[in-house]
Structure 1
Amino acid sequence: MLDLSLYLVTDRELSLGRATVDIVAAAVRGGVRCIQLREKRASTRAFIEEARAVKAVLAPLESRIPLIINDRLDVALAVGADGVHLGQNDMPLGDARQLVGGTMIIGISVESVTDALAAAAGGADYLGISPVYATPTKADTAAPLGLEGVRAIRAAVSLPLVGIGGINQNNAAEVMRAGADGVAVVSAIVSAVCPTTAALALRRQINSINTETTHGNR
């Protein structure tokens, strides 16, 4: 079963000069359960090389952690990644699904209930609700949806939902209480002095929600 509870999106520009593979390894030690490799400025060759390096870090782990490639289905196919995450301006979901069939996870970024319904009907495996809060890590996002936006999308679709955008250890729990199955973070881990410690703090918030759910309080 795909565990999207704590989902790391990488960003080379926010890494404080550290290698992406090192941040990924540290974050996984802290409890990250899904990695999305995002490279907006790297060449295709450099993107492929980095994806293979990250995949090599994840491969020996007993707890299977999927590697999702942001935007680039060609890179995902080249390295044998577990999936691809597509935005509203990337390759259409139908075309991506035709190319990979059921062999690859496909996540879709959604900015509204309309987007979410279309992605669900088109065969997406999970949805990234973006952005929940205002975020400086992406300049091309829509207005923040807030918790009400998360609730509205949760009510509209049954697919797994991951909230992204301005999420950190102070608000991760409330995003999940609103209906998200997990939280995706960038700077909260990538820019942390210790990515492992930052991931552990987020994991504690997520575990507290899981405990609430077990006792029927969510």
Structure 2
Amino acid sequence: MPLTKVLARSEFRDVDRLPDGPFILAANHITKLDPLLMIRFMWEAGRMPHFLAKEQLFHIPVVGWVMRHGEQIPVDRHAHGGDSLRNARAWLERGQTVQIYPEGTLTRDPDLWPMRGKSGAVRLAQATGCPIVPVAQWGAQEILPRYGKGLHILPRKRFVVQVGDPIPASRYADLHNSADYARATAELMGEITALLETLRGPRPDRPTADTEGAR
């Protein structure tokens, strides 16, 4: 928490939209730093976040120890993903919050708009009955650029999170095949993109191969 306060002045909008019970937080992903600032957001909202994160991070000295003891959820990108979703489901069943980056990686869009998402968040909501809360975050890339290594701390940057309306799990009750899940995931990414537009202005109407379906 002290480190995040040094890195950025934070603004969290419409936090009162977060449900009282367990929920799945779905956010855009623009830099390797934004999970740290999103942890601050969740902590100040009174929640202990459990992130789905790539399994390789858990093998990094110090970082891996912190993530394991912080009860984060490893994702093996070379496997089917069933274990990570089962672990996420277990946390939700305990009344906790799980955060997912539906894109599965940093956005490859040159202007940092959300890409197409993977269906894990939707499948998890369907399996648990927990709502999905779409959120957009912006500003972390000013501190650590996408794929960058050096921090730009001064002048102190601004990090903003915009919370959207919860999407009830009932919306996903009748999904049965890959086309259904793809459509529902595209709608979720569209919600995240619309929230991001409130932070940085309208997205240009020129989707790339990666962002097509995210709106």
TM-score, normalised to structure 2, is 0.33
The structure with more helix, counted as a fraction of residues: 1
TM-score, normalised to structure 1, is 0.32
Between 1 and 2, higher relative CO (CA 8 Å, sep ≥ 6) is seen in 2
